[in-house]
C-alpha cells in the first residue's frame, strides 16, 4: 500500500480520529496510522545509522532489530529460542556449541544466508567493531562452518552465559558478501542496511522518519504480520505524548514518553501499557564520575556525592514509580544479585564531614569546588536527573555546571574521557559476565569506545573475581565471586548507582503479539499484527 492509498484509507475509515484531522506531524506524509497492517512508532533521538554491529545506542537497537537478526532470541525467563539457528547442542564439557541454521533465509538483496556469514560476523567483523561481541567471541578457540548450515563454536574454557551472547544487538549477523575486506565503518552498505530480518529499509528522510517495509522473502511463512513500520522522529516530548493520545502514533518505548505522562496515557481506552520486554536488559542507571580527575579519584569525595543523593527522590519525583532504588552494580531482577552490601542513605551531615576531612573548605558563599556535569541528551528525564544532581550537590557546597551536547557529541565526550561527571544507564544482558563486568574490569578501559569502563576504575581483585565467575560451571561458585565483587564495588563506588529502570511501552491495543520476547521493542516484530 502506498502513501496515497494510506491517506485515502485514513480519511475513509476515520481510524485515527483527531490525528487524521489535526495532522500533528504536519509534513504531508501519510504515516501507517491504520488497522490494516501499518504501524507508526515514535523514535527519539534519531539514530546516527541503523547498522547494529557498528553502534549499540538505544534508537539503533530498536530499528536495527527489525532489519538484522542473530542466532537466538529469548523468552521472558531468558531461555533461548530459535531465530537464525533452528536448533543447537552443547557438549558435556561445555566447550563446544553446535548451531544448526535455518536453510531458507535470504539477505534483503536476495543472496542466500549461510554459515559463512555467521563465521565472518562472529570471528572477524564483530571482533573489530563491537566491544561486547569481541569480549564474548575472543573466548572461542575456533568458529567454523560445517557445510552451509552448521556452525561450531569451540571455547577455550567454559563460559556459563555463552548462549546469552546471541541476542541481536550483542551479535548481529552481517552479510559477508557486502562487508568482507572492506572498511566496515565507511562501507556504502551502511547507508542501505541489508539484513535477514522481517523488515527492510524503504526510506529514510533525515529529521523526519524512517520507513521499513515488510520483507516478502522472510523465511517464516506468514510473517511479518505488519505491512510496514514508520519510525517518526519527534524531538519534542509534548508532541510525542500528543501523537500517542490522538492515535497518530501507535507505539512508544523506553523514555519516549516522559515518566510523569505515562499513566495518563495508559488510562486512555485505545492504549495499553506494559513494562515487559526489558528483562534481558534490566538497565541500571547511575551518576558517573571520571576517576582520572581530582577530586573524583578520592573515594571520600565519591562517598560524599553518594550521601548527598536520594534514589527514592528519583524514583518518586523523576521516574514516577517506573523504577526502584539500586543497591549496586547487579540488578535485583537478574541472577547473582546480592543485597548484603554497603548501602548509603542520604545524609548531608556525613557528606559534609567527608568533604571537610578532604580539606575542601567552603568559601564565603559556601562553595567548596566547582565541577561540570555532562547532560545526557536523550530527553526530559535526563535533564531532570542533571538538575537534581546539581541541586543535591549544592547541599555539600559542590557547585555543578551543566554542559549540554547532542547525542554524537555526548558519545564522543564520554568515550574519550573528557568529562567530570555524567549519567549513564547500561544493560545487564542477562548475566553479569555479559553486561556488568564490562563497566568495571580494567582490561575494558578503552578510549574512544562507549559502554566500556569509561570512568577508568581499576582494581585487580575485582578483575580476578569477574574473570573467575565467568568460567565457573556451578552457580554457587559464580555467586560467591559475584557477591565479593559487589561488596568491593559498593565500598569503592566507581559509579553512583541510583535506580533499576522499569521502562514503559505504550501501544495501540488493536495490535497483538507485539512484545513477545525478553528484548521487547528491540526484537524483530515478526509476529506483531492487528487484531481484526
pLDDT of residue 135: 87
The rounded distance, in Å, linking the Cα atoms of 18 and 390 is 41
Q: Evaluate if residue 364 carries a pLDDT over 50.
A: yes
Ordered domains of the chain (ranges, CATH):
3-68+197-278+504-530 (3.40.190.10), 78-179 (3.90.76.10), 284-501 (3.10.105.10)
Pick from 260, 233, 504: nearest CA to 384: 260
CB burial class (10 A; 0-12, 13-18, 19+) of residue 26?
Answer: exposed
pLDDT of residue 407: 84
pLDDT of residue 20: 34
pLDDT of residue 490: 98
**Mean pLDDT, the chain, as a whole number?**
92
Band of pLDDT at residue 57, cut at 50, 70 and 90: confident
pLDDT of residue 24: 53
Q: What is the pLDDT averaged over residues 452-480?
A: 96
Q: Evaluate if residue 374 carries a pLDDT over 90.
A: yes
Cell 528483562 -> residue: 279
Cα dihedral 96, 102, 103, 106 sign: negative
Q: What residues contact residue 387 under an 8 Å CB cut-off, 6+ apart?
A: 402
pLDDT of residue 183: 97
Q: Evaluate if residue 10 carries a pLDDT over 90.
A: no
What is the tens place of the pLDDT at every residue in 66-100? 999 999 999 999 999 999 999 999 999 999 999 99
Q: What is the pLDDT averaged over residues 382-393?
A: 97
Q: What is the pLDDT averaged over residues 8-22?
A: 33
pLDDT of residue 131: 83
Band of pLDDT at residue 333, cut at 50, 70 and 90: confident
pLDDT of residue 27: 54
Amino acid at each position: 500500500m502506498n502513501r496515497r492509498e494510506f491517506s485515502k484509507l485514513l480519511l475513509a475509515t476515520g481510524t485515527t480520529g483527531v490525528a487524521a484531522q489535526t495532522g500533528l506531524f504536519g509534513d504531508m506524509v501519510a504515516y501507517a496510522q491504520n488497522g490494516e497492517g501499518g504501524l507508526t512508532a515514535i523514535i527519539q533521538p534519531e539514530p546516527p545509522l541503523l547498522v547494529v554491529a557498528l553502534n549499540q545506542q538505544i534508537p539503533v537497537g530498536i530499528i536495527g532489530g527489525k532489519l538484522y537478526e542473530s542466532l537466538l532470541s529469548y523468552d521472558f525467563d531468558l531461555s533461548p529460542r530459535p531465530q537464525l539457528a533452528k536448533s543447537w547442542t552443547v557438549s558435556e564439557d561445555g566447550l563446544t556449541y553446535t548451531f544448526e541454521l535455518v536453510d531458507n533465509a535470504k539477505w534483503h538483496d536476495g543472496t542466500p544466508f549461510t554459515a559463512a556469514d555467521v563465521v565472518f560476523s562472529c570471528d572477524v567483523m564483530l571482533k573489530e567493531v563491537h566491544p561486547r561481541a569481541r569480549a564474548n567471541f575472543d573466548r572461542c578457540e575456533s568458529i567454523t562452518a560445517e557445510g552451509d548450515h552448521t556452525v561450531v563454536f569451540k571455547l577455550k574454557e567454559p563460559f556459563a552465559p555463552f548462549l546469552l551472547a546471541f541476542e541481536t544487538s550483542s551479535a548481529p549477523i552481517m552479510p559477508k558478501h557486502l562487508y568482507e575486506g572492506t572498511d566496515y565503518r565507511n562501507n556504502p552498505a551502511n547507508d542501505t542496511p541489508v539484513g535477514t530480518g522481517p523488515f527492510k529499509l524503504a526510506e529514510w528522510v533525515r529529521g523526519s522518519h524512517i520507513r521499513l517495509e515488510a520483507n516478502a522473502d522472510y523465511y517464516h511463512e506468514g510473517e511479518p504480520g505488519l505491512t510496514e513500520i514508520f519510525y517518526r522522529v519527534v524531538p519534542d516530548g509534548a508532541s510525542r505524548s500528543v501523537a500517542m493520545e490522538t492515535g497518530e502514533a501507535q507505539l512508544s518505548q523506553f523514555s519516549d514518553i516522559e515518566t510523569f505522562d505515562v499513566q495518563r496515557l495508559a488510562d486512555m481506552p485505545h492504549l495499553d501499557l506494559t513494562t515487559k520486554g526489558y528483562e534481558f536488559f534490566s538497565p541500571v542507571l547511575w551518576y558517573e564520575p571520571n576517576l582520572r580527575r581530582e577530586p573524583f579519584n578520592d573515594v571520600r569525595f565519591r562517598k560524599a556525592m553518594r550521601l548527598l543523593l536520594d534514589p527514592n527522590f528519583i524514583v518518586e519525583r523523576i521516574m514516577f514509580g517506573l523504577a526502584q532504588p539500586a543497591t549496586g552494580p547487579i540488578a535485583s531482577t537478574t541472577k547473582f544479585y546480592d543485597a548484603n552490601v554497603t548501602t548509603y542513605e542520604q545524609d548531608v551531615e556525613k557528606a559534609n564531614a567527608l568533604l571537610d576531612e578532604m580539606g575542601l573548605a567552603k568559601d564565603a558563599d559556601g562553595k567548596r569546588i566547582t565541577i561540570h556535569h555532562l547532560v545526557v541528551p536523550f530527553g526530559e528525564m535526563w535533564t531532570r536527573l542533571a538538575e537534581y544532581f546539581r541541586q543535591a550537590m549544592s547541599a555539600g557546597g559542590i557547585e555543578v555546571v551543566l554542559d549540554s551536547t547532542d547525542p554524537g557529541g555526548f558519545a564522543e565526550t564520554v568515550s574519550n574521557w573528557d568529562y567530570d561527571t555524567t549519567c549513564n544507564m547500561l544493560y545487564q544482558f542477562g548475566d553479569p559476565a555479559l553486561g556488568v563486568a564490562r563497566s568495571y574490569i580494567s582490561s575494558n578501559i578503552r578510549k574512544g569506545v562507549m559502554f566500556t569502563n569509561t570512568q577508568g576504575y581499576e582494581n585487580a581483585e575485582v578483575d580476578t573475581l569477574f574473570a573467575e565467575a565467568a568460567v565457573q560451571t556451578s552457580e554457587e561458585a559464580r555467586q560467591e565471586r559475584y557477591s565479593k565483587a559487589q561488596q568491593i564495588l559498593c565500598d569503592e563506588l566507581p559509579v553512583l548507582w541510583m535506580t533499576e529502570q522499569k521502562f514503559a511501552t505504550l501501544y495501540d491495543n488493536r495490535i497483538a503479539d507485539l512484545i513477545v520476547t525478553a528484548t521487547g521493542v528491540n526484537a524483530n516484530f515478526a509476529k506483531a499484527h492487528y487484531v481484526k
